[in-house]
Amino acid sequence: MSFLNRLVANPLGAFSVLSVAAFLEVWGDSFFQASFYRSAGLGRVLAFAAGAVVLACYGSVVNVPQWDFGKLLGVYVVLFFVMAQLMARVRFGQSPTPSIYAGGALIVAGGLVIAFWKG
């Protein structure tokens, strides 16, 4: 069994790997956002290339472990949502709206159901 598979066999390890994957996906997406709307010329090309590299890293991190893909990726959606809100605030100065808080609460509730429902 590979190191990564042993790591994700532990719930804390799986949470850590999924958190890193969520950060990489959000960070990669933020490069694309910047390349489309906030950059020009060489800066646009570099932001786009950085986004492609970071998203390739995300794809590797999230797909190398052999885990229950549906269950853990369902939980991953929660981490992605949280990381997206943090990145929106830190990189783009955007604050969540009441509708984002309400929808986010539903996302988190769904993730808890997926993670802890025995059946």
| Cα separation, 27 vs 21, whole angstroms | 10
Domain count across the chain? 1
Q: Find the distance separating the first CA and the last CA of the chain, reported in whole Å.
A: 27
Write out pLDDT tens, residues 6-38. Answer: 777 777 888 888 899 999 999 999 999 989 988
Provide the domain limits for residue 71: 3-116
Q: How many CA atoms lie within 13 A of 74 on its CB side?
A: 13
- Give long-range contacts, CB 8 A cutoff, 24+ apart: 65-73: 65/4, 65/5, 65/7, 65/8, 65/14, 65/17, 66/5, 67/5, 67/8, 67/14, 71/114, 71/115, 72/8, 72/14, 72/18
Q: Give the residues of the chain that fall short of pLDDT 70.
A: 1, 4
Which string of b and e fits 65-81 if b means at least 16 CB within 10 Å? bebeeeebbebbbbbbb
Predicted TM-score (pTM) of this structure: 0.82
pLDDT (0 to 100) of residue 10: 79
